[in-house]
Amino acid sequence: MLKGFLHYSINRPNIIHYTLWVLVAIISIYVFGSTYRNDDPFKCNSLLNDGSFLDSTEHRNWQPSSCMMKKYNTQSTTTCLKNQRILFVGDSTIRTLFYSLIKKIKPTLNVTSQPKHSNLHFTFNEVTFEFQWDPYLNNNSTDILLGESHERSRGLFGKRPSILVMGSGLWYLRHRESGGINEWKKTIDKIFDAITSPKDYFSIADAIFLAPVERLVHEKLSPNRATTMSDEDIYKMNEYLKVKQKEKDLLDIPFVFNKIVEEAREETEDGVHYSDKITNIQADILLNYRCNDLLPKKAPVSNTCCNRYPQMKLAQFSIFVFFLVLLPIGIYYKIFEYRSNRLLEKVIPSEPILFSLLIFGLAVIYMYLSDRTSLFSKSHKQYDVYHFTLLTILYLIGGIFSLKTKDKDQPFLNRDQTDEWKGWMQLAILVYHYTGASNVSGIYNLIRILVASYLFMTGYGHFIFFYRKADFGLKRVVNVVIRLNLLTIMLAYVMNNDYLFYYFTPLTTFWFFIIYITMYIRSSHNNSMIFLLSKIALSCTIVYWIILKPGILENIFSFLQIIANINWNVKEWRFRMQLDLFIVYIGMLVGLILIKIQEYKITEKNYWTTIKRYSIIISGIVMIWFFCFELTRENKFEYNEYNPYISFLPIVAFIILRNSTQYLRNTTSGLFTFVGKCSLETFIGQFHMWLAGDTKGILVLIGDGQWGFLWWINLIVTSTIFIYICYYLARSTGELTNWICRSTITATSNIKGSDNPTDPNVVQVIIDDNEKFDDHENDNNTMIKICNICEKLMNNLKIRTTLLIIIMWIINLHYNKL
Residues marked active site are found at 92, 270, 273
CA angle 111, 112, 116 (to 5 degrees): 85
DSSP state of 179: T
Quick one: which of 121, 130, 85, 124 has its CA closest to 108? Answer: 124
Question: Do 282 and 254 contact (CB within 8 A), yes or no?
Answer: yes
CA angle 544, 550, 556 (to 5 degrees): 85
> Residue 225 phi/psi, 5° resolution?
-70, -40
For the chain, the straight-line distance linking the first and the last C-alpha, in angstroms and rounded, comes to 41
**Chain-centroid distance, C-alpha 746:** 41
Quick one: which of 32, 38, 127 has its CA closest to 74? Answer: 127
Question: Do 80 and 290 contact (CB within 8 A), yes or no?
Answer: yes
The rounded distance, in Å, linking the Cα atoms of 4 and 314 is 36
Non-local CB neighbours of 632 within 8 Å, separated by 6+ positions: none
Angle between helices 415-434 and 679-689 (to 10 degrees): 10
The rounded distance, in Å, linking the Cα atoms of 336 and 345 is 14
The rounded distance, in Å, linking the Cα atoms of 771 and 338 is 9
Entry field: residues in the chain: 818
Quick one: which of 467, 466, 352 has its CA closest to 742? Answer: 352
The rounded distance, in Å, linking the Cα atoms of 538 and 82 is 53
The rounded distance, in Å, linking the Cα atoms of 368 and 537 is 44
**Chain-centroid distance, C-alpha 248:** 39
**Residue 680, SS3 per DSSP:** helix
Pairing of strands 51-53, 62-64: antiparallel
- Please say whether the dihedral angle defined by the alpha carbons of residues 175, 179, 184 and 185, taken in this order, is positive or negative: positive
Question: Do 358 and 324 contact (CB within 8 A), yes or no?
Answer: no
Alpha helix positions (H), 521-569: 529-548, 552-564
Pairing of strands 697-700, 377-380: antiparallel
Cis peptide before 13 (omega within 30 of 0): no
Pairing of strands 207-210, 127-133: unpaired
The rounded distance, in Å, linking the Cα atoms of 660 and 648 is 18
DSSP track, 61-94: -EEETTS------HHHHHHHHTT-EEEEEESHHH
Quick one: which of 370, 275, 249 has its CA closest to 59? Answer: 275
Pairing of strands 163-167, 85-90: parallel
**Residue 206, SS3 per DSSP:** coil
The dihedral region occupied by 125, where left means phi > 0, alpha psi between -120 and 50, and beta the remainder, is left
Quick one: which of 269, 284, 331 has its CA closest to 63? Answer: 284
Instruction: Give strand ranges (E) for 563-720.
Output: 667-669, 691-692, 697-700
Question: Do 386 and 711 contact (CB within 8 A), yes or no?
Answer: no
Question: Do 584 and 578 contact (CB within 8 A), yes or no?
Answer: no
13, exposed or middle or buried, with CB in 10 Å at 0-12, 13-18, 19+? exposed
Q: For the chain, how big is the Rg over CA atoms in Å?
A: 32
Which residues on neighbouring strands pair with residue 136, listed in sequence order?
none
